[in-house]
Every structure is written in C-alpha cells, then in structure tokens.
Amino acid sequence: MSDFIHLHNHSDYSLLDAAQTVETMCNRVADLGMDSIAITEHGNLFSMIPFYKAALKAGIKPILGCEMYVAVNKHTDRQLVTLETGKRRNYYHLVLLAANQQGYKNLLALTSIGYLNGFYYRPRIDKELLEEFNEGLIATSACLAGEVTSYAASGDYEAAKQAALSYQKIFNKRFYIELQNHNLAEEKASHQILKKLSKELNIPLIATNDCHYCLEEHSNAHDVLFCLGTGKDRDDINRLKYEPNQFYIKSTDEMYEIFKDTPEALENTLAVSEQCDVEIPLGKYHLPAYPLPNEETDPDKYLEKLCNEGLKKRYSKISKKIQDRLKYELSVIKKMGYAGYFLITQDFVNYAATNNIPVGPGRGSAAGSIVAYCTGITNIDPLKYNLLFERFLNPERVTMPDIDIDFCIEGREQVINYIKEKYGYDSVAQIITFGTMKAKSVVRDVGRVLGISYSEVDKIAKLIPNEPKITLEKALKQNSELKEISSKSKVYEELIEYSKVLEGCHRHASTHAAGVVIAPGPLRNYVSLFQNPSNQEITTQADMNALEELGLLKMDFLGLRNLTVIKKTIDLIKERHNKSVDINTIDCNDANVYKAIFQPGVTVGIFQFESDGMRENLLNLKPTCFEDLIVMNALYRPGPMSNIPEYIARKHGNSQTTYIHSSLEEILKETYGIIVYQEQVMQICSDIGGFSLGEADIVRRAMGKKKKNLMASYKLKFVDGAEKNNINNKQAVEIFELLEKFAEYGFVKSHSAAYAMIAFHTAWLKTYYPIEFLTANISSDINDTDRIVKLILECKRMNININAPNINVSNTGFSIIDDNTIQYGLSAIKNIGKKASDNIIAFRKKNNLFKSIFDVAKIKPPINKKVLESLILCGACDDLSEHRSEMFSSIDIIVNFINKYNKTENIHQSSLFSSSDLAITTPGLIQAEKWSKDECLKYEKDLLGFYLSDNPLLKYSDDLGELLNKNFLKPPLLSIAGIISDVVYRFDKNGNKWALVSLDTLTESVQLYVFNETFLKYDEVIKKDQLIYAIGKDFNQNENERVSRIIVNKIFIIDKNIKELLTRNLNIAVQFNNQNKNIIKDIEKLSKTYLGDYSLIIHLKSLKGNSQKVLINRIKFSISNESLIELKNIFGLYNVWLSN
C-alpha cells in the first residue's frame, strides 16, 4: 500500500490546460508505486471512461472526480461580482470526488447542470445545487482559485472561515481543506490560515499537487500548451503562467519533503482514497422502450407482425426458405432482447421515407438481415445477394446491434428532431468528439506560440508527409530535412521537442458528425451532458467509444451527400420533364448504364467509383452486372486491392479459376475462386468446417485479429469438420490457411452491396438525365471549389456548357438553362454565400433586371463591400452599363452610395417631406481603362477557384495541339499540358522528397508523379497556377487510351516559344506511287514559301500499307501556324505533324 495518493490531477481532457494523457498519467503513478489516483478535470467528465479503463489496466484504483466551478452567487447569474477585496469574479474552484455510486450519479448531474444551465465563461454550479446533490461526494477546497484558499491567501481569516463553514455544513465530515505548495508565495501565505481553520473547525487537511503534466521536463511544453489555450505568445510578459517545474506528478518522497511539517495531510489522502469505491457498470445495456400502439403489448409480437406485413410487400412469392429465414432471425432477436431496437430504427427510417427524406439502402452488416429488409430499414434483399444475418447479429456473441443509417444531408436534422420529440429531449442527444493535435497541426500551433513566423512554420509543417496516422517520430525518420531542423536554431529545437510532447493531446471538443444516443430515461442519469458554447448544441460528455462501454444505444445518423444529389436530380427531372422517378425500382443490371458509365470509366460524380485508381480498374474489368460493382467496391481498398488484376483476368478468361476442393466452388464462384467477402469466410467455416454460422463469425474475427492462441484450436476443429465432409487432411489444412490469409482483408458484402446500389442509382441518373444529375451534383458541393472544378470539367467532356455567373441570370445555386447549358450559381462565388445570393435574387425578382451597378447598390438588405467586390471581379456584373475596372476602381464611391441610400430610405419611412425632396444623386465613377483578358481571368480564378469563361491555356492551344499529338514523342513517352492546381510533397522510403502534382488540362484533371531525381531538377517550376508541359510515362496499370497518372521525366514552362523549343522535325506522310514520283521535289518547292529551320521527315506509304521514313536535312520548313495550316490543307489533317 502506498503512503500517498494524488487527488488533484488533470489530463489533456482539461482542454489546452494539461499536457498528459490518462494513459501516461496512470502509468506514471503505477511506476511510482501508488495504488490509486483521482481525475479532476476542469468542470467536465470528458475523460471519465478512458481514465477509468486506463487506471484498471495499470492496476490502480480509479477515483472519479471533477474540479468544479462554484458560482459566487447563483449559477444562473450572468455577471461578474466585485468582492470586498476589490477582485471581480463569478466563480471559485471546488474539487469533488465520488465516494460511492450515489456520488457518481450526483457528479453526472452537477457536471451536466454546469454546462446546460450555468455556463458563463465556465460551466458553473452553486452551493444551492451542492446542498441538493452532495450525497456520496467528498469535497476539497481546491487550489488558490478555491474560495477558502483565495481568502486565506489574502489574509482574510474571517472570510475564509465562513467559506469553510459553508462547505462543512453541506458536506459535513466529507469536506477537506487542501494544501498545495508549488513554490508560489500566495500558496505559502495561505497555509497559516488553512492550518488554523483545520484545527479550529475540525476539518482534516489533505496535501495535493495540482498535476497538469507527467514529468518535470515537460514543464516548458505545458507552458506552450497553456499559451495556446489563453491565446498568448510565450514572450508576452503580461500573460498568465504556471510556476515552472512544479505541476508534474511527484513521487511520495517528493511530497513528504514538501509537506514535512504536515505529514497528516499526506496520510489523509489515503483515508480519502479508501472512502472512494465507485464501479462504473460497463457492458450493461440500457435500451429505451419503443412506445407500442395501444392494441399491442409485446414488442416481439409487434415486430413479427410488421415483418409479415413487409414480407408480402417485398416478395411476390414467399417460399419456405424466406419464411424460415425470417422465423430464425426473429427468434434470435427475441432471445437477445433487441425487438425494441429494431422497432425504434424502423420507426424513424419510415418517418424519413414518408416525409420525402431519402434514406440509403443500407450500411454495414445490417443489410444482411431480412427483418431489416421487411421493416424498411434496408432496401437490399439479403437472400438475393446471399448476405448473412450472423455477420450482423451473432447469437453466440452477445453485442449491441449496430445499424448505421444514411440520410439525405438536408433531412438528417429533421429525423433527429423527430426522435427527440418521440423519446424526450432530455433522453436524446448528439455525441461529443475530440479534435487532437496531430503531427502537422501541433507543429503549427507550437510554432505560433514560440513566435515563429507563419511562413517559416508552414514550411516546416509541410516537411511532414501527408500520410494517414503519420507521427512526428515517423516523419523525423522519413525526412532528413525535417530531422535537421532542430539543429538550425534553439527555437527550432524547442519547436520539435515541445511538439513531440504535445502531439496527440486533445485540443477541442465538437459534435460528432453522425452519432446520436437514446437513453431509456433522462440522459444525465447515465452520462454527463455538454453544451457547446459556440453553437449551443447539446452532446454527451462521453464520446462514441465511451457510450458503447456504458451500454447506451448509440446510432450513426450519417448525412450522405449522394442521397441529396439523387433527390435533387429526381426533383429536377420532375420539374423539367414532368416525370416521377422511383429510384428504388430501377433495374440494377441495365446494360446501357454499364456501357455508358462503368465500362469506359467515366465515373465522375458516381458514388464510391470516382477515384482515378478505381476508374482505371473499371476500364480493365468492363463490368457487365451489379455483382461486378459489389466486388469492385469490396476489393478497392488497401490489402485486397492486390487481388483486382487476378479477378479481372479470371473474369475475362485470361487466368484459370481453380479450387482447392470442389466444395468451395458454390461459395466462391461469384468471385472466380477469390475470397473477397467476410461472409464467404463464414460460409466456408460453416459448410466445410462444420461450424455454426455464429461460431464461424467468431472464427472470422479471430482470424482478422490474428489471435494465434485461438487459431490453433479452431484449426483442429475445422480440419476435423472438413474430414467429416469427405475432405482430406491436407486439403482441409490448405483451405484453413487460405482463410487465414484472406480473412484479414475480407470486406462486408452487405455493406458493399448497399453502397454499390447507391453507386448504380447515381450512374443510372447520369446515363439518362446527365444535365439534371450534374447540376444537382455541383449544387450539392457548392462550397467545395476543387469538387466544382472536377464536375465542370466533366460537364465539358459531356459537351455541357457552363455559363459564367451573371447577376441578372444566375440563381443562388446552379440552374439549368437548356439541355446543354448550366448557369453558374451566385453562392458558389467566393465571399458571396447563400444568404447574400438569396437577397440578390429576391430583389431582382421584385424589381426587374439590374442595369447599372447603382441598381445593385439598392439591394435590400444591403450587400457589403466584400460581396460587391466579388461580384464585380468575377464578372457577374459584366452585363451592367459600367465595365469591371471602372466599377472596381470606384468601389468606395459605390459603398458610400449604398450607405447614403439606405440612410435616406430609413428617413423616408418617418419623414413628412416628399421622397423627391430627400432623393440622393447617383455619383459618377472613376474613369479607368478596361482590364486585359488576362487580368480579368486572374480575378475570375481568384473568386471562382478556376478558369471558367476562358483559360490561359487557350492562348497556346494551337501550339499545344501540335505538341500533344501522339506522334510528337516516341513511345512509351507521352506528354500533357495544363495548369498546376495543387502540389503535395511526399518522401520515399529513403527520405527523398518528391511531389504529387494535380494538373488541370482543358478537359480533365491528371495526377503527375514527380519523383526525387526529376523533382530536384524542376523544384522551382512546380508551383501552383504554373502553366506547364510535361513529358513522362503512363503510370496507369492498363492498356486503355485514357491516361490519368503520369510519371514525369521533364517539365517545361508554357510560353510563346514552347513549340520551337521542343520541336526537331516536321513530318509529312504521303502515298507514294507512279503518279507522284516527283512528290519530294514538289515539297521542296513548297519549303521555299515556308522556309524555316526544321528538317523534314517524309513518310512514304505504299499501296500495300508499308511505310518508309526518310529524313531530308536539306529541306527546311517553318513550323509557324500559317505553314502548318497550309501543309495540312495540301496533304491532309492527319498527314502533317511535328516530332521531338
């Protein structure tokens, strides 16, 4: 047993105030030989479950607590109070520790009330609430910010005494006076009074260290974190700061040395620890009851009734197989007690469906349930696609069912509000999530606090590779340039050192994008609640994982943009063609869709199939049926992706499909003998190994997690079962080892099938209603410039024009003008937004078209300067009587007119004078020269994010047309020309820097791989917005014509001399026969007219199709546009070309 317990500790869940995780804190305490520790975050219980689990894992007792903020007066008061000392404050600190289960519940209640009702700078409670919720809680007087200690520190004995008495009255013998000594003069000054109060009032002392970081050497890193939280630079001499090297987890010996005059205060920490015994009931489920209709009393029978009704709607013929599957699933659901869960889910899904809120066909393993299918929760027939119920709900492994639902983004909030109304606003909440300081962000944050300029710290942060789960430690090993940063200066050394300490710490709290929790009663009986001060959203203080541990019903209500796109497309179809489309009834094997979209890989806008890699695989696969989409969806992810070439080869008969044993054929024939799905692993374990499907799911999980101790016993059982099915030992072992190999990468077929269905729905709409589909797509992503660029390029590929924004024509979103034209939406312009756009459109409809910029100036409510500038610069006002440069040069004159006009309008409403007496004169504008085309394009790019009305590349289109001719370079070299839109720096395994460049051509976006050797040559050229011509090799792994990825060898800046710089020869192909023996002489004569410096290569073609190439250096041609046009007129468009 230890001789001291730390009872006042903060982890990084005391956001931007403590620099230690719960794991490091608990491990440190365990290393020091202490057998218990308390957690006392500032005003919250964010860390409760992670701390509880970390403490148990470290073998120490967790004490649950919180450092509360107690309001000076009422917790609902929203004002600062001036104290007798002259200080102004609205709260004091008080530490509360849960002694028992009732104390734990009261802690949940108080921390919830603090945020929901008492928030004013901090989440506050008051003494009245403490009187109501004190049972089972131990209180300590806290730090210098505590009421008793603050009065004691100022020498006010009487005030300190009254404060101590007030807490003693509330908590009786459960109140302790806390002594702290961090070498602060105020603390030391308080000790005399605190000791006197202890003796006089018989209130025991406890000694604590206000631990905010783990080790003494972390003090400076913590100081930087505190600066970040208070918004100060480290060098600010007036900022708040902690005393250095004191707020770490000290050893028992250190604490006894500090408090050697009051050993009883240290011993009392043990007494407090012994009083605390709280067990959080993890793993016990708390499911809400579904309100049954009046005539129903049994949820299981009611679910069965709904299923039977749904069965008749879903199946025209109900076979015994269907009936048996439903009966089996219902029996498992009844046995596990989850009927209410299904009833709740089907209720809100069907609410969405009946309120025109699109719902996805399924997500995750839930699509494997016929109960979910019959009740409308999913829209995938599990029997048709051979989906397994046990993958979703395993009767042999009791876990909470997990049905995640995709909703249209615009309807998701409505569904959540429906649930709140049905189950009670105090029983439903969204779920908190925590942002962490990842490798790049922590460097930027720390650099800012250390006073390093933005450009410097940005350059350093960009040295960290853009990889998932990258850490500073990993980045320093990968990139030698980053590793050398520390040696360049003391401040850089500190930057890296402190960033490594703070990396991974929690930075802020926000609302989980999808999670919703429903409790069987008021949520604060199970978990504390949080209200975000910035948007007033109420969430749980426990995150998604913690709620799962607590056994609460959590669901993911995901807003899926593609469902919104589908809905908007269908609405546009109805509006334009008066046709009602039921997307759920279309044929998912429609051959036209596969020919138009999937086989050529033109899948921009198609859910899950948009990436370049996926499009490349589609070109090779040439999918012909829905099952192909399911497979590709499952295979196209890290790990199983390596099986794609073999799958394609087998589908096209280029590779033989073989099976270890014929019994595998029935299970694997749909994937040509390759194990793709987790369901296949389960079926093999069941059909061949003799496991039940429930057992098979457990085996699959063990295989995926590589649990070797379990695998040995499962292997023996599998082989034994296989032998009973007449499979020899060698084959059985081979099959099991094959399962082990693929189980880790197997994907859930249920999920893949459901998402393939959404993909097909989007592809069907793109095939038959392209302009409606693309308009809906662009409008749904109106704030994502990169996305809009990609979609507009797709419009151009499909010969759909995009009209530039126009204040007299554009609506808020993108709109359809005719079958081949889309009008750009005003809200997609930078700085405009939906609200300003709506106001402009409403004013235009009411007052007719705008003729002058001063008509625009009269918009009500008035538009601001930034909106006006953006409208002018992007060209949206080009229809007006004034020109761009004139309007922009006079922007202050126009804004002044707006202010005067609106002031006069306000006077009109209350004046006795006529409007003519108060009219203001329209001012003249500053005369300015019209901007050049290039200048107009520059501003258009700034405001739209891309070139729309024109493109700088078009200036060089004739030259680039020659240079991009497939005959210009010798295979396998190819070329590409475009504008660099993005550059991402990466590092190879040797730490060498290279660049992944996004290049926008006139028709599409292409990825350029500029590896280290080439990168070093062209580093200065690789800049955003640079026009380049690149030479390289195709990086795609197929033989199709479409090129989307290129390994670059050379890069050239595009200018007026690009054609002359790169061309070596002029090529002319001619048919050579007896009638044109003098063709070379004729060409030589022609060269006199177009004399230049480029040698001629003649390609003589015989009637038999043979070709002979002849280089004639004496004949020199110009390669001017005039020369090339004339030659092509004479010899034919495709018979004249340039070469490198």
Q: Is the pLDDT of residue 919 over 70?
A: no
Tokens of 994: 């290279």
Where is pLDDT greater, at 1130 or 841? 841
Question: What local confidence, expressed as pLDDT, does residue 907 receive?
Answer: 59
**Cβ 49 vs Cβ 280: under 8 Å:** yes
Question: What local confidence, expressed as pLDDT, does residue 986 receive?
Answer: 85
Where is pLDDT greater, at 1085 or 596? 596
Q: Tell me which residue of 494, 550, 533, 485 sits closest to 121, measured CA to CA.
A: 533
Q: Tell me which residue of 858, 881, 879 sits closest to 804, measured CA to CA.
A: 879
Q: Tell me which residue of 192, 191, 178, 184 sits closest to 143, measured CA to CA.
A: 178
Question: What local confidence, expressed as pLDDT, does residue 908 receive?
Answer: 53
Q: What is the mean pLDDT of residues 881-892?
A: 94
Q: Which residues contact 294 (CB under 8 A, 6 or more apart)?
A: none
Q: State pLDDT tens for residues 955-988.
A: 898 999 999 998 999 988 999 999 998 898 888 8
Can you tell me which residue has the tokens 């200080």? 87
Q: What is the mean pLDDT of residues 1055-1072?
A: 91
Question: What local confidence, expressed as pLDDT, does residue 920 receive?
Answer: 76
Q: Is the pLDDT of residue 916 over 50?
A: no
Tokens of 417: 């509000």
> Number of helices (H) and strands (E), helices first, in the chain?
46, 28
Q: Burial-class residue 1139 by CB neighbours within 10 Å (0-12, 13-18, 19+).
A: middle
Tokens of 343: 């009833």
Prior bond of 861 cis (ω within 30°): yes
Q: How confident is the model at residue 189 (pLDDT cuts 50, 70, 90)?
A: very high
Question: What local confidence, expressed as pLDDT, does residue 784 receive?
Answer: 85
Q: What are phi and psi of 1058, to 5 degrees?
A: -60, -40
Question: What local confidence, expressed as pLDDT, does residue 1055 receive?
Answer: 93
Provide the mean pLDDT of the chain.
92
Question: What local confidence, expressed as pLDDT, does residue 895 receive?
Answer: 93
Sheet architecture: strand order including 538-543: 405-408, 553-560, 506-518, 428-436, 538-543, 529-531
Q: What is the mean pLDDT of residues 344-354?
A: 95
Q: What is the mean pLDDT of residues 327-355?
A: 95
Q: Is the pLDDT of residue 1037 over 70?
A: no
Q: Is the pLDDT of residue 905 over 80?
A: no
Lowest mean pLDDT among 299-303, 545-549, 742-746, 875-879: 742-746
Q: What is the mean pLDDT of residues 790-815?
A: 93
Lowest mean pLDDT among 422-431, 884-893, 1123-1132: 1123-1132
Q: What is the mean pLDDT of residues 65-81?
A: 93
Tokens of 660: 């270890």
Q: How far apart are CA 343 and CA 912, in angstroms?
A: 66
**Range with top average pLDDT, 159-168, 457-466, 1088-1097, 1106-1115:** 159-168
Q: Is the pLDDT of residue 1074 over 60?
A: no
Query: β-strands 122-125, 61-71: how paired?
Result: parallel
**Cβ 131 vs Cβ 167: under 8 Å:** no
Measured from the Cβ of residue 712, the count of other Cβ atoms closer than 10 Å reads 9
Q: Is the pLDDT of residue 1076 over 70?
A: no
Coil, helix or strand for 718? helix
Q: How far apart are CA 311 and CA 1087, in angstroms?
A: 81
Lowest mean pLDDT among 30-39, 214-223, 283-292: 283-292
Question: What local confidence, expressed as pLDDT, does residue 1080 receive?
Answer: 80
Question: What local confidence, expressed as pLDDT, does residue 766 receive?
Answer: 98
Question: What local confidence, expressed as pLDDT, does residue 1104 receive?
Answer: 64
How many residues in the chain? 1140
Question: What local confidence, expressed as pLDDT, does residue 918 receive?
Answer: 47
Q: How far apart are CA 466 and CA 469, in angstroms?
A: 9
Q: How far apart are CA 810 and CA 806, in angstroms?
A: 5
Q: How far apart are CA 785 and CA 798, in angstroms?
A: 20
Q: What is the mean pLDDT of residues 363-380?
A: 95
How many CA atoms lie within 13 Å of 948's alpha carbon, on the beta-carbon side?
30
Tokens of 454: 């933005």
Q: State pLDDT tens for residues 618-676.
A: 988 999 999 999 999 999 988 888 899 999 999 999 999 999 999 999 999 999 999 99
Question: What local confidence, expressed as pLDDT, does residue 1040 receive?
Answer: 46
Q: Is the pLDDT of residue 16 over 80?
A: yes
Q: How confident is the model at residue 1103 (pLDDT cuts 50, 70, 90)?
A: low
Q: How far apart are CA 1032 and CA 1049, in angstroms?
A: 5
Percent of the chain with pLDDT over 70: 97
Q: Residue 1046 belongs to what H/E stretch?
A: strand 1045-1053
Q: How confident is the model at residue 1036 (pLDDT cuts 50, 70, 90)?
A: low
Coil, helix or strand for 34? coil
